[in-house]
Amino acid sequence: MLGAGARLGGALAPPGTRRHDGAVPRRRGVLLGLALAVATLVGCGPAHDAATPPSSTPLAAVSVAPGTTGVVALGKRPFRLHVPAGYDGTTPLPLVVALHGYTSNSQDLDRYLGLTAASDARGFLLALPDGTLDSRGDEFWNAAPSCCDFDGSRVDDSGYLSTLVDAVRATHPVDRVAVVGHSNGGYMAHRFACDHADQVDAIASLAGPLPADTSGCRPSRPVSVLQVHGTADTTVPYRGRAGDSSAPATAAAWAALDGCRPTATAAPAQDDDSSIAGAETTVQVWSDGCRDGSRVALWSIQGAPHTPQLSTAFTGQVLDFLLGR
């Protein structure tokens, strides 16, 4: 776990992006030391006692024109919703919820993954929420004991995202819900699937694992899970650290939760990092025996850091997994 004084900093934001306050985030090599002593952690645990529970927040009417992105009022935490171009307003569509990393924001993640363009091209609703601000002015999700509620605010982000999904479903026909997150947002995707499996069909996490102690993850139904992680990640190590599972252990845990047989099958390598020559990503898939058609995959980007330079094919491949295509 991270000590109370240790921050992951701007390395959890895509390179070259700006923080919400206009400051350029720190690079990967300028991280504060990762103090892993559990004794120094300040209240980052999975709490559900926010001052105003999201479940008590009234749902707002959503009126966003096709091909545009609008702000949806949801109590004190509005979010942006993109409706794909050409949408007729009646056909059920998938909903993709995108979760940014610590010190980043939804606009940065949208640019990094190219999600708005993909929404128009593939025809899915795209929700772009933001975390809350900590005492340093950085946006975070209260996702896991190790990341990233360093002030101990105990904000109920899991409940907030549950309310967000309900808000979109109340005004749009939705046939599938998927969540994708980077870093702190990846941790949050796992947390949401553990807490609200009844509301989500699939998640994808880039560089955000399950906690080391997975006993608190009790999904009510199977969820398809894609874990993507660079093997050279020094921010959230591929092999895990105190408080975090490794990337392979995260995938294996979900395979067990989904009832899959424990042995993964190797799939063809793929090119996910444009800065690394060749098809550098090894792919393992658990699908045999998984309940209700779920599946689990681990994409290990060999030699990639915490924030890879993503290939042009990456987002499409992730969406293929999330949307079951």
pLDDT over 80 at 19, yes or no: no
Using an 8 Å Cβ cutoff, are 138 and 152 in contact?
no
Question: Where do the structural domains in the chain lie, given as residue ranges?
Answer: 9-44+63-322
Which CA distances in Å does 13 have to 39, 203, 226, 293?
Answer: 27, 19, 20, 33
The CATH code that applies to domain 9-44+63-322 is 3.40.50.1820
**What are 213's two structure tokens?**
């102690």
Res 38 pLDDT > 50: no
Strand partners, 261: none
Given CA atoms 309, 102, 145, 257 in this order, what sign does their dihedral have?
negative
Strand 174-182 with 93-99, pairing: parallel
Q: Where are the beta strands (DSSP E) in the chain?
A: 68-72, 79-83, 93-99, 125-128, 132-133, 139-140, 174-182, 202-206, 224-230, 265-270, 281-286, 296-301
Q: In the predicted model, what is the mean pLDDT of the chain?
A: 86
Residue range 283-298, pLDDT digits in tens: 999 999 999 999 999 9
Query: Residue 214 — very low, low, confident or very high, per pLDDT cuts 50/70/90?
Result: very high
Least confident of 47-51, 122-126, 175-179: 47-51
Looking at residue 63, its pLDDT comes to 77
Q: Measuring CA to CA, how many Å separate 203 from each of 65, 138, 247, 271, 296?
A: 27, 24, 14, 21, 10
Q: Letter for the amino acid at 101? A: G
Does 8 or 174 have the greater pLDDT score? 174
Q: What are 216-253's pLDDT values in tens digits?
A: 999 999 999 999 999 999 999 999 999 999 999 999 99
For position 62, what pLDDT does the model report?
A: 59
133-155 pLDDT, tens digit each: 999 999 999 999 999 999 999 99
Task: Tell me the two tokens of residue 249.
Answer: 């252990």
Give the per-residue pLDDT at 325.
Answer: 74
Show Cβ contacts of residue 21 under 8 Å, excluding neighbours closer than 6 positions. 137
Q: Which residue has the higher pLDDT, 176 or 17?
A: 176
